[in-house]
Structure 1
Amino acid sequence: MLQASPMYAYIPAKDIARARRFYEDQLGLRPREETNGGVVYEFGGGTAAFLYPTPNAGTSQASQAFWSVQDVDAQMQWLKSRGVRFETYDDMPGERSPQGAITAGGAKAAWFKDPEGNIMALIQALPTS
């Protein structure tokens, strides 16, 4: 039953104003609505994320969410031009692209942190042979 239902991401923030500047000014997101002290951002395919206030932001050492993109390297280049710094995981296996994305396991991926310490990812599914 859950498989047929939309799933949404929660993005924790200690400082909503700071987080909004990052998501809106650097990533170029437009808020759909403000609610319960936070903000909802809408994405492709009817998906969305809720940026919400909590003192627990940035405590996860794993990715909070990812964007499924057509071209990770192009997205990285655009985001870098807006001041986004990507994480480098030297112990991660795979081939590294000129922009720094890692290709392994049928996907190309890159990670960055928001100012709250949350790890976000860009993932590009690669064609299977």
Structure 2
Amino acid sequence: MLKDLHTVLPAADLQRAREFYHAALDLDPVEEHAGLLMYRYGENTGFEIYETPNAGTARNTQMSWMTDDLDADMARLRARGVVFEDYDIPGMKTVNGVATTDETRAAWFRDTEGNFLCITQML
């Protein structure tokens, strides 16, 4: 039976990715292997970053965090140099980087490797 879930993200430059996740998100790997960084949240949540020349080719959300205070998290990340994406496409338009529906508020940004990351707050 399927149990725990974690994301695997590509990176063209593993050291550059490590520096971004440390400086912008206060995250450091808990394990390192040749070409691979492993990050953990609590006991059963985490993600990996692996080195590959294919990094930055996906155009979809690759990882998302839930938050109780989107505005505070965005302010903290912006202070650390994170730039949030703006979208104006059918069905979604951001205002100051935030897309709002009846149930959620969400904001997307990219890491140094071109991965699309999201922060979502349930309303």
Structure 1 vs Structure 2: percent identity of aligned residues? 43
Q: How far, CA to CA, are the matches of 1:9 and 1:35 in structure 2?
A: 17
2:88 aligned counterpart, secondary structure = coil
- Taking the TM superposition and a 5 Å limit, the aligned residue runs for 1:19-98 are 19-44=17-42, 46-91=44-89, 93=92, 96=95
2:115 equivalent to 1:113: no
TM-score (norm 1): 0.87
- Decide which structure has greater strand share: 2
Partner of 1:125: 122
Structure 2 portions without partners, runs of 5+? none
User: Aligned residues, how many?
Assistant: 122
Per the normalisation by structure 2, the TM-score is 0.90
Please identify runs of 4+ aligned residues in structure 1 that moved more than 3 A.
none
Q: Distance in 2 between matches of 1:94 and 1:86?
A: 13
* Cα root mean square deviation, aligned: 1.6
Cα distance between partner residues in 1 of 2:56 and 2:94: 28
**Residues 67-96 of structure 1: per-residue CA shift (max 9 Å, x gap):** 111111111000000000000012253673
